[in-house]
Chains A and B, each alone.
Chain A
Amino acid sequence: MTTSSIITSAMQAAVGAVGERQTVDIERGAILRFAAAIGDANPAYPDRAPPTFLRSLGRAVPDLPDADSVPRALDGGSQWTYGPPVRAGDTVEITTTLDSIKEAQGKLGAMVIADYATRYVNQHGETVATQRNTVIRMGVLA
């Protein structure tokens, strides 16, 4: 079913969808490589992970139906809230929910703004971080 909006009914119906839960072991080597890639020589690493390291663990974002109509994706930003530190040797479970979608008009035409909420929980059941991430999707330029 089509509407005048670029948000299709299938897209709208996907709000609340949860991606596959991932379970990841936090490895010292992965922390070191991540810190080196940022250029961050903080002596707290690799015993602890840098704040944005969690993003590298590969969250599974729930599918956005009809994404072919807006194939160009840009990261709009994130809000992170932290609990206890993430340490090498931890095991972290990650789940991502499609929290909301809305339409906006940008310089380059209509855009779909998708907000995802990701929760990271360690082996003690503690929420080590939550991330709200905005993804901006657009059509390819003519």
Chain B
Amino acid sequence: MSEQPFIDDINVGFALPALVKKPTPRQLVQYAGASGDFYEIHYDKDFAIAQGLPGVIIHGALKSGWIAQVVTDWMGAAGSLQSFSVRYRAMDVPGDTLTCTAKVVGKDEAAGTVRCEIELANGEGSVTTTGEAVVGLPTR
């Protein structure tokens, strides 16, 4: 966890610390159990292939969890995630290295919020998932 950010110090263009994930099939099973999403495309390779997929794929909701985490890791105990959205552009597979990056694209001083754009890229650098978040930050 980094130090508490204050809205006074954060400006448009600020890049949040990146979050790197190396999901394994085991993590997908762990997430299936913790989330209750037992759709077989996330752990049964034969089933996934029969559905026309290249193999098992990562739960969209798990990627969504990382899209949120890159923001919650940064915003500190006094920050608040007010809204966020995620859009899946392409599938991701276990065994790849995924990197979430985020930057501040808007600031509303009166509301005490910043708007962040978030991207999740695969090991080849293609952005497979995008998101946006509105984060409340304290003043100094």
Digitize B21-42: 1 where CB-to-A-CB distance is under 8 Å, 0 elsewhere: 1000001001101111101000
Contact A52 B85 (CB under 8 A): no
Contact B83 A81 (CB under 8 A): yes
Contact A40 B88 (CB under 8 A): no
Interface of A is mostly: mixed
Task: Give every chain A residue within 8 A of B80 (Cβ-Cβ).
Answer: 82
Q: Tell which of B21, B35, B81 touches A56, judged by Cβ atoms closer than 8 Å.
A: B35
Docked complex Cα distance between A73 and B85 (Å): 20
Task: Give every chain B residue within 8 A of A72 (Cβ-Cβ).
Answer: 51-52
Contact B60 A51 (CB under 8 A): no
Closest A residue to B84 using CB positions: A80
Contact B85 A50 (CB under 8 A): no
Q: Does A1 contact B (CB under 8 A)?
A: no
Q: Does A4 contact B (CB under 8 A)?
A: no
Contact B61 A37 (CB under 8 A): no
Q: Does B122 contact A (CB under 8 A)?
A: no
Closest B residue to A80 using CB positions: B84
Q: Tell which of B39, B60, B65 touches A50, judged by Cβ atoms closer than 8 Å.
A: B65
Contact A50 B69 (CB under 8 A): yes
Contact A75 B61 (CB under 8 A): yes
Say whether, besides A52-B61, A78-B86, A37 and B72 are in contact (CB < 8 Å): no
Question: Measuring CB to CB, which residues of chain B are less than 8 angstroms from any residue of chain A?
Answer: 1, 21, 27, 30-31, 33-37, 39, 51-52, 59-62, 64-66, 68-69, 72-73, 77, 80-88
